[in-house]
Each structure stands twice: as structure tokens, then as C-alpha cells.
Structure 1
Amino acid sequence: MSEVGAAALDLELLRSFQAAAQLGSLAAAAEQRHRTVSAISMQIKRLEAALNARLLERGPRGVIPTATGEALLQEARELLRMHDGIVARYAGQGLRGRLRFGLPEDYARALLGDVLPEFTSRHPDVLLEAVTATSGELGRQLGRSRLHLAVVLDRPVPLPGGETLWRTSPVWAGPRAAGLADRESLPLALHEVDCPYRALATEALERLGRSWHAVFTSTSIHAVERAVEMGLAISVLDRERLTPAMRELGSAEGLPALDRCEARLHFARHIEAESRPAVEALAAMLRERLQERGPWRGGVTV
């Protein structure tokens, strides 16, 4: 029992497991943890042996957690957050200041489940406020310095500068059962103005000369997705957001190809001196976790 307890609380093993489970790849975990792939694989095998449970399923496209692995991942996140918070508080290494971070709602769930909780655990004295909005609104808030840092898509109005984190994968999403694409006027579920995917959809249809009308408009990505699932409309979503009640549509249904867009990291023009170190620390973490691969576990958008 003592060996199992000690191994289960080995934070280095848990960190490597967490990285592999979240990124969906041993190679990506090795890069993040600054170790070799074989070292990461050995650490996970040691953790599996200590817990007498299989934690990851290996496949040609990477790794995914088993049911036991999913449960452990949640507990590991909490344990590591507590540990890092204690170290930051008592070792006097934590950053301070206020940090307002903006992100599109489409990516909030992925970032809130990984990057932001880890950041707050490492830097518990930073007053972090996360704000979701359309990319257009986030750009305006950055321009007024109401945000310190934001992830903004480069449509419909690209902001100057910024660092590319990943390229998105927009697709036409329709209900699995209903056939809506053959209607004379295409029924769409859309966000309001300033939404990059609204612009992608309408621009593509207008280039084709295809009639469309907005049957459902909402600021909520979840409401738009529900409208698609219930057979009310077609929309443009990131491919990773398709649910079992949806199917990807395309040229076979007479729909035009969609342009790609980029998710970029932007800083405010004016950042208070006391907040600058915290802003830089969050930016570094976002680059480390999101550059090229995006926020989806195991997904690589190219």
C-alpha cells in the first residue's frame, strides 16, 4: 500500500500524464515537459503500474484517456493546482496585479478547462478576469485598453499585428436527420455582427450567389449549436464542435468552400507596470499550449 500511495502522489508522473492526456500526444507532452518521448512513456507506464490501471489508449493519431484516465485527470488537475498554489504563496514567487483576458466564446470551455486554471494555480495572487465576446468586440475592448490580452480571430475586421497561435477549421454544420441544404433560401443559425464565422458563411454564399436567411440569431454558441441539432438551421462551426446530432456538409450538398482564419494573440497598447509580468506570463503559457495545435485535445489545425 505504501508503494501505491507514494507513486500515486508522484507529481512528476501526474504532470506528464496530464500533459499527454490534454494534448493527446506523447510527442506534444514531451515537448511541453522538455523531456524525450521515451521518458514520458516510461513515466506514464510507472503511473499505470502503481495504480494498477490503464490510463491511456494508444492509437495511430495519438493517445486518449480511458474512463479511469479521465477520472484521474480531473483529480490530478485539482491536486496540481493546490500544490502549485501553495508553492507560489509560501515561496514568494507568485506574480501580482490585475489581468483582464478576452477570448471568443467558442474556445472558452477548452481554455477554462486547461490553461486558465493552471495559470491561477501558479499565480494565485493575480486577479484574473476572463471575458468572452465576439472577435470584433474583443478588438474594440483591446483598443480601449479594457483588456490586457486577448485571443482574437482575424475576421471580420483583422487587427494589426498579433501573433498567430493556430488556424481554425470552419465547416458547414447541419442536423444529422433533416435535409435543409436543398431549400431555395438556406436557413442559417448565426451569431450577431462581428462574428468571424458569420462573415465566413455569408461571404461564401454571396460569392456563390446562393440565397440565405437568418432563421436564428444569438450571441450564444451553445444556442446556435442547439438550433442546428434540432433541425432548425445550418451554421458554420469549428469542426471540433460538431456533435453526434450534426453532420458536416459541403460540396455534395451544394455548399461553397469556406475560407480559413487565424486565431491571434494581441496585447493592449497600454498595460500597467504592475500587471505587465502577469500578462507576459499568461501570454507565454498560451503560446506554449496553443501554438499551431489550438485548444482541442489532440487536435492539430494546419
Structure 2
Amino acid sequence: MAEVSPQALDLEALRSFVAVARLGSLAAAAAERHRTVSALSMQIKRLEARLESRLLVRGARGMTLTASGETLLGEARELLRHHDGLVARVSGRGLTGRVRFGMPEDYASRLVGRLLPDFLAQHPDVVLEAVTATSGELARRLERGELSLIVALDRPHRLSGGEPLWRTMPVWAGARELALAPDAPLPLALHPVDCPYRQLGIEALDGSGRSWHAVFTSTSIHAVETAVEAGLAVSILERDRLTPAMRELGEADGLSPLPGCQAELHYGRRVTAASWPAVEALGTLIKARLGQRE
């Protein structure tokens, strides 16, 4: 019987390490990996011993990566993707079918950057078609049968039966040095009418009697953010999208706080039987990665 190289890495320990790095918590990673915290902690310790390097440290905000951990993380993700893809192709256990997935552009980076590549590595025979659009447009396309599943906010087009993922934190955003005249109409940079944050902002302004006008309208979140940074207009953005060139506006600027929205996962009703297992698998992965995110 061939001996395992003393330098070989435990793939399951790597999976646990990647989960802790992504979630920032041993407890959350253990729950996702269906292990006890002590068992997962032991995996990490064995991995650190094998590599002779500290990978994670506990801080005020949970587990954070060391420099060695940062180096390992990218390589570990690629290794696991190649491994899972190889197993699926050779064993024939990978799913098949077509998955048409829709998401708002604001959240595309966290979905496209990690989650979708991981899904395709596990199921290389699935044909994936991913699109971005406003939540209202995604809801209509789901109802027309054009999409298999979507992640969308619960405004302005409400769909029943969605599975909750997380609550959003919209804020008024302006350029860092922006000064607003209290009696002048508020200049806004907005998405089209199907955007939940457009609706939130206009409802808040109309409710307070504040006049406004649309200076800039675009389907691109990056274009809207550029308009805000340049001081051209005020917009409504997710708080974690504020850049150093922006500041959060509030009551001192004559603007009241905004309520959050619910991000939800919705499945289409016209998915073929052959494609449903793949659609369900992507939905399960989305819930595991993004569900209950604060």
C-alpha cells in the first residue's frame, strides 16, 4: 500500500479553512460543514501544523486571515474547484440541465466571483446562464418563465413564496464634500423605475415633502456611484458600497433614514424536470453561502 506523502494536504481540512475564511466564524463554518466546532478547529490546527504556519487568528470581529492564510485561500479555492470538477466528470455524478439565474447587479460580484464558479466546478455538465437586472425586471422575467431562479429584493414587484436571504441596508449617499441647499430640489442619481432603492428614496422624499429631480439615470450601479463621487447627485446605495469619496447623508442634511428591503430567493414555476435538480442545487448553495447574512 502506497504511503501518503507527508506534504499532502487534507482536502476536507481545506474545505473547512475556506469556510472559516469566508464566514469569519468557527461556529458558522462548523454549522455549514455539519461538524462540531471542536472537530473543525482540530482540522484547522492539523492544516496549520502540516504547513508550519499560522493561518487564522481570532479577533474582535471573529476569525481573520494571516498573511499565510491569504496566500493559501486563493490556491485552496482553485484546488478544490479542480478536484470537484474532476470527480464529477470521471464519476458521472455531476448534474445536467440548464439553469437560468438572475440577480441584481449590486450583488453580482459576490455571486459571480465565488459562488457560481464553485457551482460549475461541482457540476460541469450544467449549462448556466446568468443575467443581471433590476429586481422588478427579474420578477417579471421569472413569472414569464424566462428564468429558473432569481435573487431579488421584495420591492417594487412583490413575489410570494420567496425564501429570505438577508436584509439590506440602504442609505443616502453623497460626495464627501457635498453641501445640500435645504430649499433646493434634491439632485438624484437613480436606476430605472424597477429599482427597489429608487422606490424607497422617492417614497421617503414625497412623504417628507422634499422636492427632487433626476439629474442622472442609468442601469449601471458603477455609473450611479461615479455620479455620486463626482458630486453630481445624491443616490441611495447599500451602505457597504460607500467609497472613501462618499459620505452617508442623514437628518443633518434634511434626509430621513431609509427602511431596509428583504433579499429573497425565488424559483420559477416552468423549470423542466430534467433541469430541476440542478436549479435546486444552485438554490441550496445560494442559501448556504448567503442566507441570513447581516
Deviates more, 1:277-286 or 1:231-240: 231-240
SS in 2 for 1:127: strand
Alignment of 1:178-217 (within 5 A): 178-180=178-180, 182=182, 184-217=184-217
Larger Rg: 2
Q: Distance in 2 between matches of 1:138 and 1:100?
A: 11
CA contact (8 A) 2:180 2:253 kept: no
Q: 1:70 to 1:181 in 2, by over 3 A?
A: farther
Match of 1:296 in 2: none
Unaligned runs of 5+ in 2: none
Q: Please give the alpha-carbon distance, in whole angstroms, between the structure 2 residues aligned to 1:15 and 1:125.
A: 22
Residues 13 and 43 in structure 1, CA contact (< 8 A), matched pair in contact too:
yes
Counterpart of 2:55, as a letter, is L
Tell me, yes or no, if the aligned pair for 1:180 and 1:233 is still in contact at 8 Å: no
What is the DSSP-based 3-state SS (H/G/I as helix, E as strand, rest coil) of the residue aligned with 2:202?
helix
**Aligned twin of 2:274:** 274
**Residues 160 and 247 from structure 1, CA distance in 2 versus in 1: closer, same or farther, beyond 3 angstroms?**
same
**Is the aligned partner of 1:177 residue 2:177?**
yes
Write the mapping of 1:1-302 to structure 2, written as runs, cut at 5 A.
3=6, 5-6=7-8, 9-180=9-180, 182=182, 184-293=184-293, 300=294
For structure 1, the residue ranges without an aligned partner over 5 or more in a row are 294-299
Distance 1:185 1:53, change over 3 A: farther
1:297 alignment partner in structure 2: none
TM-score by length of 2: 0.93
2:113 maps to amino acid: G
What is the letter of the counterpart of residue 13 of structure 2?
L
Aligned residues of 1:175 and 1:229 also touching (Cα < 8 A): yes
The AA in structure 2 aligned to 1:244 is P
Work out the CA distance in 1 between the residues paired with 2:243 and 2:53: 29
Alignment coverage as a number of residue pairs: 290
Distance 1:55 1:187, change over 3 A: farther
C-alpha distance in 2 between matches for 1:233 and 1:64: 37
Say what the alpha-carbon RMSD is for the aligned residues: 1.7
Contact 2:153–2:264 at 8 Å: present in 1 too? yes
Counterpart CA distance in 1 for 2:231 and 2:70 is 32
Letter in 2 for 1:157: H
Distance in 2 between the 1:263 and 1:126 partners? 25
TM-score w.r.t. the length of structure 1 is 0.91
> 2:121 & 2:254 partners in 1: Cα distance?
49
| Residues 174, 180 of structure 1: 8 Å contact kept | no
Q: Which moved more, 1:162-171 or 1:39-48?
A: 39-48
> The residue matched to 2:127 in structure 1 has which SS?
strand
Query: What is the Cα deviation at residue 74 of structure 1?
Result: 1.6
Distance 2:149 2:24 in 1: 27
Identity of aligned residues (%): 67
SS of 1:145 mapped into structure 2: coil
Q: State the Cα distance separating 1:278 from its structure 2 match.
A: 0.4
